[in-house]
Amino acid sequence: MGMLDLVQNETIKILRRRRFLVILLILAILIPIFTYAQYRSVLTAQEQMGTSDWRALLQQKIVDTQNRLASSRLPEEWREFLKITVQQQQYYLDHDINPMAPGAPTFARGFMDQAISLFLPMIIVVLAVDLVSAEFSEGTIKLLLTRPVRRWKVLTSKYVTLLLFTSLTVLMTLILAALISGVVFGYAGWDMPVLTGFEIAGGELETAGVFALPQWKYLLMQYGLGWFVSVVVGTITFMVSVLVRSAAAGMGIMMAALISGAILTQMASSWESAKYLFVVNLQLTDYLAGTLPPIKGMSLPFSLTVLTVWGAASLVVAYAVFIKRDVTS
C-alpha cells in the first residue's frame, strides 16, 4: 500500500505499454541522422572555404555576417541579434577557442541547443500524454480507484513515475547523442573550454562576466536546463491527460502549443506579453550560449520563473480535477 508499490505498478504499466521503448527508438533513429547532417555540413563548409582551419572558417563567418549587417533592409531586431553573434564569434577567435571543434561532447551540446524547445518536449509529450487518460479510455480507472488507496496517492504515484521517466529520457538523450556521434566525430573534447556568462544589456553583449567552462560542466548545466524544461512540459501534459480523455486530442493540444511556441519565438519580438507563455520560454540553453532572447525583458531567472508557475498551476488543476471528478463511462 506504500507509495513504492504504487510507483512500481505505474512503472510496469509504462514499460508494458512500450512508451519508453518508442522514445529510445526515436532517439536511436534521429541522432544518427543528425550526426550525418552535421558531418555533411562540416565537409561542405571546408570544401567551400578550401580549408579545414577553423580560424579561417570562423573569420569567414564573421565577414559574411558583417556583410549582411551592411544591408539596410534588415529589420532592427534581426540586426541586433547578428551583431551579438559577431561579437561572440570575435571573442572566441580572440581567445583562440574553437566553438565548433567536432567531437561527441560538442555534438551533444549542439543537439541539446536544437532539441530543447521542440524535439525534447515532444518526446516527453509522447511519454505523458495518456498516462492518466488511458486509464479512463480503457475503463481500468474503475478498478484503479476502487482500491484502498486515496485518489491523491494514485495521482502522485503516476506523477512520480513520470518524473522518473522524464529524468531517464534526458539522461538517455545525453548518452545516446554522445555515444552515436562519437562514432563519427570521436570522443574527445570533454575538457574543451566553452564560454558562458554572457549578459545582454540594452542590446549589447556584455562580456565582462564571461568565463570559460570545461565542456563537460557546460553539458551538465545544459542538460540540467533540458531536464527542467522536460519536467515542466511533462507536468503540463500530465494536466492535459487528466482533463482530456482522448490521447489523440491531448497529443493535438500539446503539439499545437509547442509548434505555435516555436513560431512565436520567431516573430513575437514586438508582442511583449507573449513572454508569459510557457512555449516561448523553452529555449533555456540560449542564455548559457549568450544568444539574444526572442522577446525583450526575458532572462534566465525570468524564464525559469514563468516555467515554474505554469508547472505548479498545472499540478494544482490536475489534482483538483482528478480528486473531485465523478468517474462516468
DSSP E strand stretches across the chain: 193-196, 199-201, 204-206, 211-214
Contact flag: residue 23 with other proteins (CB under 8 A): no
Shortest distance, position 160 Cβ to other proteins, whole Å: 15
Contact flag: residue 1 with other proteins (CB under 8 A): yes
Cell of 238: 500530465
Backbone CA torsion sign across 225, 227, 229, 232: negative
The secondary structure of the chain in percent helix, strand, coil, rounded to multiples of 5, reads 75, 5, 25
Q: 193-196 and 211-214 as β-strands: parallel, antiparallel, unpaired?
A: antiparallel
Site string for other proteins, 145-184 (x = CB under 8 A): xxxxxx----------------------------------
Residue numbers 119-138 binding other proteins by CB under 8 A: 138
In sequence order, the β-bridge partners of residue 196 are 211
| Rounded distance between C-alpha atoms, residue 235 and residue 162, angstroms | 8
Contact flag: residue 139 with other proteins (CB under 8 A): yes
Residue of 51, 140, 260, 270 that binds other proteins (CB under 8 A): 140
Which range binds other proteins by CB under 8 A, 3-11, 88-96, 110-118, 228-236?
3-11
Contact flag: residue 5 with other proteins (CB under 8 A): yes
Q: How many CB atoms lie within 10 A of CB 137?
A: 13
Which range binds other proteins by CB under 8 A, 12-20, 34-42, 94-102, 207-215?
12-20
Report which of 112, 120, 31 is spatially closest to residue 288, judged by C-alpha positions: 112
Contact flag: residue 186 with other proteins (CB under 8 A): no
Q: Which residues bind other proteins (CB under 8 A)?
A: 1-2, 5-6, 8-9, 12-13, 16-17, 138-140, 142-150, 324, 326-329
